[in-house]
Amino acid sequence: MVAARILLLKRAVFATCLLPLVVLALDAFRRGLGANPIAAIEHSTGRWALVFLLVTLSVTPLRKLTGYYWLLRLRRMFGLYAFFYVCLHVLAYVILDQFFDWTAMFNDIAMRPFMTVGFASFVMLIPLALTATNAMVQRLGSKRWQALHRLIYVIAIGSVLHYLWLVKLNKTQPDIYGGILAILLGFRIIVAMGRLVRRAMVGRALKLPASGAN
Ligand code: HEM
């Protein structure tokens, strides 16, 4: 894809990713958030954070399946949007839900497993957002940067558990997110195993003539 088209696509995707926030703001303005607006804000921002995490994780499989390399140019934006919506989610919790009651928040995070795992996922997401620039890739070195960014898998699992554990009755929604995550991680495991098998076969093929000569 030519640079101008990619720029246009990036702008369109950037604007589209803002839509959930615009819809939420309009609903809040029109007092259309239902009986518990604070919970509605927490739920919407939390769900969109999870959606963007999964979209970020789906870029590599989609690129591999379709051969569309330009998809990679959008991955960073999706990841940063996940972080953006998580920040809104946490701000809604700290300001609207708990009103800066740090003791209550500490107890909440320490005593409720779904909060502990959500908080841990949020904390792990911070270094990924801070190192999302090309300059940071160069500074850390590609290998170390990649190793750090593998945290995204732990974060995504933590986020699904956060959702799964907070829902008491109907677990259909978190199960769907969990299923999508399982497919995305399963794809990577299959690709990695295929690579290992290929490497082993090449290794054996290279060794064979040598051992035959002995
Ligand atoms: C990567 C990090 C996180 C993700 C992806 C995430 C995602 C979610 C999701 C999907 C929900 C359920 C929304 C629904 O019911 O429709 C949720 C609920 C919630 N999250 Fe998070 N969350 C994260 C971190 C946090 C953190 C750090 C906090 C607070 C410190 C937090 C506090 C809450 C609360 C209070 C709820 C609502 C619980 C309830 O309904 O009783 N989350 N979150």
What is d(CA 43, CA 65) in angstroms, rounded to the nearest whole number? 32
How does pLDDT run across 82-94, given as a tens digit for each residue?
A: 999 999 999 999 9
24, 89, 95, 117: residue to mutate for ligand 1 pocket, most atoms within 8 A of CB: 89
- HEC secondary structure over 81-139: HHHHHHHHHHHHHHHHHCCCCHHHHHHHHHHCHHHHHHHHHHHHHHHHHHCCCHHHHHH
Total structural domains within the chain: 1
Matching residue, tokens 């809604």: 92
Q: Is the pTM of this model over 0.95?
A: no
What is d(CA 14, CA 25) in angstroms, rounded to the nearest whole number? 17
Average pLDDT, the chain: 95
How does pLDDT run across 60-73, given as a tens digit for each residue?
A: 999 999 999 999 99
For the chain, the straight-line distance linking the first and the last C-alpha, in angstroms and rounded, comes to 52
How does pLDDT run across 127-152, given as a tens digit for each residue?
A: 999 999 999 999 999 999 999 999 99
Domain that holds residue 23: 3-213
- Site residues for ligand 1, CB cut-off 6 Å: 39, 42-43, 46-47, 49-50, 86, 89-90, 93, 97, 115, 118-119, 121-122, 125, 155, 159, 162-163, 166
CA 116 – ligand 1 centroid, Å: 11
